[in-house]
Amino acid sequence: MGSARRHFLQTYIYSYPLGYTVPIKNALAFLERKLVVLFKKSARAVAPLEAKELLDQGTVMIDVRELSEWNHGHAPGAVHLPISKIQEQLHKIPKDGNIVVCCRSGSRSSAAVSFLLSHGYNAINMKGGMAAWHAHGLPVVNSSGIRGSII
């Protein structure tokens, strides 16, 4: 194999779907972006009203916000599991049935859903998060069980 060809192969990978070469130093970031796109395509998302219907049917809701956010207000019946603890608490999350995941706006829950999907869970992101839930007039309780707020 010629020196120039060897250098090319050691420096670049070919992206078949995109039809162009990508520097290997950027390959990991490139592959991570592709995986995120794949996960987002396969992730299901529901609006707050549909999430409420699922909860009423017995679906588990996991709220991945931080404790201070949770204490101010969350959906009644939701389970608090901060996104930073999901990996270590994965064994406690039921694999049978759907899981609705929420945060304040939908960003952290989207990341959590991608992680859960990659581990075989039927996770669903709630669009707009608890801010949208509250905006739709759905119930919010604080850590004392009385009317709460979303921060």
Are 118 and 61 a contacting pair, CB within 8 Å?
no
In 3-state terms the chain splits into helix, strand, coil percentages (rounded to 5) of: 50, 20, 30
Q: Dig out the tokens for 122 from the structure.
A: 């039927």
Q: How far apart are CA 134 and CA 20, in angstroms?
A: 46
Catalytic residue among 99, 103, 113, 150: 103
What angle is formed at CA 45 by the lines to CA 141 and CA 81, rounded to 5 degrees? 45
Q: How far apart are CA 17 and CA 21, in angstroms?
A: 11
Q: What is the DSSP letter of 127?
A: T
> Any catalytic annotation for residue 103?
yes
Q: What is the number of helices (H) and of strands (E) in the chain? A: 7, 7
Active-site amino acid positions? 103
